[in-house]
Amino acid sequence: TADDGSATETEAQPEQPAEPPVTRIRVKGGVVAGDVKSIEVAKGDTVRIVVSSDVDDEIHLHGYDLEQEAAPGKPARFKFKADVEGAFELESHAAEDAGKEPLLARLLVGPS
């Protein structure tokens, strides 16, 4: 048998575009649970972020000006194309309103 490591015709599958990874962020009591996330992508990549919160909140991605509502059991979901290079902050309005640190994550978009 030929065992040269090459795939046979039946094993070859059409290329499926990979689903972009999902960054999951948890907010407890209006502040991020754990460390502030750093999300690094290349320009043109699809970005997916899911923010779950135990309080009613509004999650805002500066620079892209995207806002999503979050509530207990109803996470804020972001899915967008990173078409602007730079560093952008994802913040919790509930934390900001309570005088707490609002920063949940930094999105860093580099050249493609």
DSSP 52: E
Mean pLDDT of the chain: 88
What backbone torsions phi and psi does residue 69 show, to the nearest 5 degrees?
A: -80, 140
Q: From CA 103, how far away is CA 81, in angstroms rounded?
A: 21
Q: What is the pLDDT of residues 32-52, one digit of tens each?
A: 899 999 999 999 999 999 999
- Residue 18: per-residue pLDDT: 72
Pick from 16, 34, 27, 112: nearest CA to 68: 27
CB atoms within 10 A of CB 51: 23
Q: From CA 7, how far away is CA 44, in angstroms rounded?
A: 31
